[in-house]
Amino acid sequence: MRRRRRLTIAGLVSAAVLAAGCTLPALAPRSDVESEAAPPGTTPTWQACPEVADEVVGRGAPGIRYECTRIQVPRDWAGGSAATTGPGAGETFEIALIRARSDKQRDRIGSLLVNPGGPGGSGVDTAVYLSFGEQYGGLPDRIMERFDIVGFDPRGVARSSPVECIPDADLDAVFGSDPDPQNQQSFDDLVALANRIGRGCGDKYGDQLPLYGTEQAARDMDAIRAAVGDDKLTYLGYSYGTLLGATYAQLFPSRVRALVLDGAIDPRQGLIEGSESQAKGFERAFDNFHRWCAANAARCPIAPDARAAVISAIDKARVSPARSADGREATAGWVFYAVISSLYTESGWQELARAIDQLEGGNPQGVFRLADSYADRDDKGHYTNLFDANTAINCADEEERPNLDRIRQLQSQWRTQYPLFGPALATGLISCTEWPGGSDPYPTGRADGAPPILVVGTTGDPATPYEQTPALAEMLGVGRVLTWEGEGHTAYPQTACITQAVDAYLIDLTVPAEGKRCPAR
């Protein structure tokens, strides 16, 4: 059975569940690693690259060596690099890799491949972040001492043959647009913007756009496994990275050693079902924020009614947006994305409360800090290719795309059911409806022959709602659920309970007890 679902949280450009479980720093500008890509099936040459860590976080982690390489993969695995017909025939993509190795490594098990999600998040950046250790939200020393941490930018992302076709001005228009365009002209303007973006990307990439899909990237992961010299794959995937891992397990079950899928996605959900699931998830997370505010008024300047304060701020921004010193307007869209950004971690709640309070006083800087972090926008108004890749990948995966009339119906329906997030989740469906090119669906079935796969879920997760965790485990047939009763997007390594369970699985292949749950603290 094959079903399509796009992992959108809101907005025209299918802003999918975002990088690295959002426990890590915001993504930094990426630079190319100068090396010749190893052809398919050959052993790559690794080169020292401490400059990548310098660019990502300003320095390398103590006692960690960074090495980089590139490998070539067929653009279309169905035909391979020797194919003579079809999109991408005979051509390759370059996949950028980084390896972080501790000076204290002992009894090496192999490589731990990591992916932060998105789609569009950089695994190279994530490997650098994770190398800084548990005190900074990274990996525990016991994992760093047993594995090389290998990050990769999936095809089309960051350093790996990046998709670049959406102008900064159009992304500003996307994020700044009304999250609930109720009059027909506003809705039509949103459709026209999506259509313009789609035409520009179609003109540049044509019939090769479907080649950026998830199944192709999962096959790239097996080329990476072979390139690093591992007989079987050990993998840590967050958010959309769980979809990559689940797809790999179905394609190559006998090559799985251990997969940790944290922030699980149910691949069987259709596009509409997946978007509604996220509408529910964000409403639930926002309700949790609202209750926290009411109970912690000293730390929440918009208490006691945080929901009313946020809704008022968005409504006010529709008619009279606050301006920053450079003239930038904090429109309803930017306020909405500040809210979205803050819900990925419980630590973002207090920042949101301050930002909304400051906005009421005419200062939009807190709103812009949150929203720009989510959008991967720098202070000069430039974006990385995160959302170019995000749209290309999501729409390549998408087989069934609702028409505009159906989207308009859902917008109205979800406004009643999920008043703050539902309309934006509905209008977010427009991007793939207006996207050119065909699709390349990924499989949605069992991973027969694979060993137990650890599927981790957070009960307060807004972007990958907890209900998807047992659904993914059940679909794979070999999934074992580990539950964190916490807030925010993804769980590992948030608490000692979660960390100990995941570490035991990665190192010793010890599977947690059926039904294991970890408390929030």
Task: Determine which one of 161, 290, 440, 489 is catalytic.
Answer: 489
Confidence of residue 230 (pLDDT cuts 50, 70, 90): very high
Confidence of residue 367 (pLDDT cuts 50, 70, 90): very high
| 471 contacts 261 by C-beta, under 8 angstroms | no
Confidence of residue 31 (pLDDT cuts 50, 70, 90): very low
pLDDT of residue 380: 95
For the segment 59-70, the average pLDDT, to the nearest whole number, is 97
Task: Determine which one of 178, 440, 461, 503 is catalytic.
Answer: 461
Asked if the model's pLDDT at residue 18 lies above 50, the reply is no
In tens, the pLDDT along 170-219 reads 999 999 999 999 999 999 999 999 999 999 999 999 999 999 999 999 99
pLDDT of residue 80: 60
Active site includes 489?
yes
User: How many whole angstroms separate alpha carbon 465 and alpha carbon 274?
Assistant: 10
Asked if the model's pLDDT at residue 13 lies above 90, the reply is no
For the segment 471-485, the average pLDDT, to the nearest whole number, is 98
Confidence of residue 84 (pLDDT cuts 50, 70, 90): low
Confidence of residue 488 (pLDDT cuts 50, 70, 90): very high
| Beta-strand relationship, 322-323 and 256-262 | unpaired
For 404-466, give the secondary structure using H, E and C: HHHHHHHHHHHHHHCCCCHHHHHHCCHHHHCCCCCCCCCCCCCCCCCCCEEEEEEEECCCCCC
| 117 contacts 237 by C-beta, under 8 angstroms | yes
Task: Determine which one of 239, 342, 373, 439 is catalytic.
Answer: 239
User: How many whole angstroms separate alpha carbon 235 and alpha carbon 129?
Assistant: 16
Confidence of residue 22 (pLDDT cuts 50, 70, 90): very low
Range in 91-95, 276-280, 396-400 with the lowest mean pLDDT: 396-400
Asked if the model's pLDDT at residue 104 lies above 70, the reply is yes
For residue 128, the SS3 value is helix
The DSSP bridge partners found for residue 92 are 74
Asked if the model's pLDDT at residue 79 lies above 90, the reply is no
b (16+ CB within 10 A) / e for 248-281: bbbbbbebbbbbbbbbbbbbbbbbbebbbbbbbb
* Residues 311, 315, 317, 318, Cα dihedral to 10°: 140
Q: How far is CA 324 from CA 226, 284, 388, in A?
A: 51, 31, 27
pLDDT of residue 82: 53
| 387 contacts 435 by C-beta, under 8 angstroms | no
Confidence of residue 41 (pLDDT cuts 50, 70, 90): low
User: How many whole angstroms separate alpha carbon 24 and alpha carbon 26?
Assistant: 7
Q: Phi, psi (5° rounding) for residue 483?
A: -110, 135
pLDDT of residue 399: 86
* Residues 353, 354, 357, 358, Cα dihedral to 10°: -150
Active site includes 239?
yes
**Which pTM was predicted?**
0.92
pLDDT of residue 83: 57
For the segment 434-452, the average pLDDT, to the nearest whole number, is 95
In tens, the pLDDT along 292-343 reads 999 999 999 999 999 999 999 999 999 999 999 999 999 999 999 999 999 9
- Mean pLDDT of all residues in the chain? 91
pLDDT of residue 324: 96
Write out the two tokens for 380: 């000069």
Active site includes 220?
no
pLDDT of residue 90: 81
Write out the two tokens for 474: 């059940």
